[in-house]
Amino acid sequence: MSLGRFIPLLVILAALIGAVCPQPGWAQKAVATQSIDPFGQEVKLAPKTIVYVAGSGTWDKAYDILVDAFKELNAYLDSAGLTAAGPAMTIYTSTDDTGFDFKAAVPLAEAPKAAPSRGIALGQSPEGKVLKFVHRGSYDDMNQTYEAITNYLDENGLDAKDLLIEEYVTDLAKSPSDKLVVNVFVPLK
């Protein structure tokens, strides 16, 4: 008996299974991830001492605004003789369709002895239960990742707080813009 006779039946069966049992996280398929990347993994963030630059901007200029903020922070760290104690992060404190408010932050092992100046502040990073998602690729393609995250939250009936955190596994200011690896943390209500 030839297997070729059963191929049309297998195709129809696969289509029916796909229609009846949709894949969880289907939106993730369009996002450039690796099989080892978490997508919606629950983790708990511990608070860290951070130095940060607060600002706002529009989405069309987000990458340049954030790179400039991290260059300013890196210059401060160098001049103050401080070393980062983990990856840099952007804490989005407010977002809408046109723009955002943010804190570009770098964690420190301990607070500096002298208070920061020149628009740089000292604070604590967010803490608590979050969902972790990973983005790989250019910053311009982050909107696809955020769309997949929104779909994931909707599919699972989850409500996010009005706060997002991007943690840069690769250096946002120095890495090629299409080779970024970014952990996106979404705090839940």
Q: What CA–CA distance (Å, rounded) separates 148 from 58?
A: 21
Whether 8 maps to a domain, the answer reads: no
Q: Is the pLDDT of residue 18 over 70?
A: no
- Strand ranges inside the chain, DSSP E: 39-45, 49-58, 89-95, 99-108, 120-124, 128-137, 164-168, 180-187
Whether 20 maps to a domain, the answer reads: no
Whether 18 maps to a domain, the answer reads: no
Q: What CA–CA distance (Å, rounded) separates 175 from 154?
A: 33
112-169 per-position pLDDT tens digit: 888 887 789 999 999 999 999 999 999 889 989 999 999 999 999 999 998 999 999 9
How big is the CA angle at 52 (ends 46 and 53), to the nearest 5 degrees? Answer: 150
Q: What CA–CA distance (Å, rounded) separates 34 from 15?
A: 25
- How many domains in the chain? 1
For residues 51-74, average pLDDT: 94
Whether 121 maps to a domain, the answer reads: yes
CATH assignment at residue 63: 3.20.80.10
pLDDT of residue 113: 85
Beta strand 49-58 with 99-108 is: antiparallel
Among the residue ranges 32-36, 56-60, 116-120, 136-140, the one predicted with the least confidence is: 32-36
Whether 115 maps to a domain, the answer reads: yes
Whether 11 maps to a domain, the answer reads: no
Cβ density class 146-160: b for 16+ within 10 Å, e for less: bebbeebbeeeeeee
93: its two tokens: 């404190």
Whether 132 maps to a domain, the answer reads: yes
Whether 4 maps to a domain, the answer reads: no
Question: Whole domain around residue 150: which residue ranges?
Answer: 39-187
